[in-house]
Amino acid sequence: MPRSKYFGKDMICTRDWSVDALEEILALAGDMKRERYSSKFAKLLLNKTFIMFFYNPSVRTRLSFEAAATELGGHAQFLEPSSMRLKSSKSAGETIEDAAKVMSRYAVGIGIRILEDKVENYGEGDELLREYAKWSDIPILNMADDKFHPFQGLADVMGMRENIGSGLKGKTLLQYWGHGALARSWCSVQESLLINSRMGMNIVLAYPEGYSLDHDVIASVKANCQENGSSFEVSHDQVSCYKNADVVYSRNWMSPDAYVGGFDKQREIQKALPYTDWICDAEKMKLTNGAYFIHPMPVDRGHEVTDEIASGERSLIYDIAENRLHVQKAVMALTMSEDW
């Protein structure tokens, strides 16, 4: 067939896609991993351009998206909006309407990355993507915004399934706030909660008082668990929460206070200092059901997790990093290729 039924569809959050559609992505990503340079996939974007906008730099995301385009026969252009002369409240320049409409003439898709430090209020990054999507004739892919990180969520699911033979349904994910010196975004964590609750996992969300996430997202996660007959629990005990976990995802995130009076990462790092015992280590892992360790990387070793666990035999971090490439290739092929 010339185009998939997902041709032209944006990927801003996995919750904008049905579970069946996500399963199609994951199945194709599996094929693409098994037959990485097969001629079946090598020309799906031949001679086509994918545009990448990095409001925030990121090596892993850039590498994996640019490699994805190359492996599909196309080319990804790396742009930083500092060179874009876009209109803002402070300066004359081009409107998003004009920028998006022109890009739609040159390319087959646009990836955008914009995190909390580039916007004034929580959610404005995600809104920017949806503004581009409104005017663009070609799909907008979220390469991580202040709310969501869909390709990380897909890569997490793919990596866990590769190792948990019996599937994710009924297994328990501990989403753990790891102490850290980097004050991370909510995007990876929220996407993990959203997609894994839809996959039927039990969710334990553990963090120190004061580190709650987006209430709307958490309401969705609870509803997903209820619908699937799985459990949802919040814990503020940094040890007991490990009991019976099948997967531990230890990752720092900032508190809602980070946005109060303007985003301030340094204040957040100071605030986290009392919580150095919030670390994933071998002793705590003994309480689990032989859990796997996952993380979206870069890992803040010695804070979020010990070296022993991060480099241990049940760590899936490199496999999941690799899976970013495969799920991205799958979504790019499904939403942009006219040459199936």
| Distance in angstroms (rounded) separating the CA atoms of residues 81 and 66 | 17
Using an 8 Å Cβ cutoff, are 139 and 8 in contact?
yes
Name the nearest CA neighbour of 70 among 52, 53, 48.
Answer: 48
Helix pair angle (187-198, 215-228), 10° resolution: 20
Closer by beta carbon to a second copy, 72 or else 245: 72
Report the nearest approach of a second copy to the CB of residue 316 (Å): 12
Stretch that binds a second copy, among 56-64, 117-125, 151-159, 209-217 (CB under 8 A): 56-64
Taking CB under 8 A as the rule, does residue 277 contact a second copy?
no
Closer by beta carbon to a second copy, 60 or else 118: 60
Taking CB under 8 A as the rule, does residue 276 contact a second copy?
no
Report the nearest approach of a second copy to the CB of residue 287 (Å): 26
117, burial (CB in 10 Å: exposed 0-12, middle 13-18, buried 19+): middle
| Distance in angstroms (rounded) separating the CA atoms of residues 276 and 302 | 10
Site for a second copy in 69-128 (CB under 8 A): 70-75, 77-79, 83-85, 92-95, 97-99, 101-103, 105-107
Closer by beta carbon to a second copy, 47 or else 89: 47
Take residue 146 and report the two structure tokens written for it: 């202040």
Stretch that binds a second copy, among 3-11, 192-200, 206-214, 318-326 (CB under 8 A): 318-326
Go through the chain and tell me how many residues it has: 340
Half-sphere exposure of 251 (CA within 13 A, CB side): 26
Closer by beta carbon to a second copy, 214 or else 300: 300
Q: Angle at Cα 188 formed by Cα 224 and Cα 222, nearest 5°?
A: 20
Site for a second copy in 168-197 (CB under 8 A): 180-182
Report the nearest approach of a second copy to the CB of residue 338 (Å): 8
> Both ends of the chain: CA-CA distance in Å?
5
Stretch that binds a second copy, among 159-167, 270-278, 280-288, 311-319 (CB under 8 A): 311-319
Taking CB under 8 A as the rule, does residue 164 contact a second copy?
no
Helix pair angle (317-336, 59-71), 10° resolution: 50
- List phi, psi (to 5°) of 305: -160, 155
CB atoms within 10 A of CB 121: 12
Take residue 252 and report the two structure tokens written for it: 């720092």
Half-sphere exposure of 229 (CA within 13 A, CB side): 2
Report the nearest approach of a second copy to the CB of residue 55 (Å): 12
Taking CB under 8 A as the rule, does residue 62 contact a second copy?
yes
Closer by beta carbon to a second copy, 12 or else 305: 305
From candidates 14, 64, 197, 202, binder to a second copy by CB under 8 A: 64
Closer by beta carbon to a second copy, 78 or else 340: 78
Strands 49-54 and 75-79: parallel
Taking CB under 8 A as the rule, does residue 47 contact a second copy?
yes
Taking CB under 8 A as the rule, does residue 314 contact a second copy?
no
Taking CB under 8 A as the rule, does residue 37 contact a second copy?
yes
Closer by beta carbon to a second copy, 87 or else 243: 87
| Distance in angstroms (rounded) separating the CA atoms of residues 112 and 131 | 12
Which residues make up the interface to a second copy (CB under 8 A)?
A: 37, 42, 46-49, 51, 57-60, 62-64, 66-67, 70-75, 77-79, 83-85, 92-95, 97-99, 101-103, 105-107, 180-182, 297-301, 303, 311, 317-318, 321-322, 325
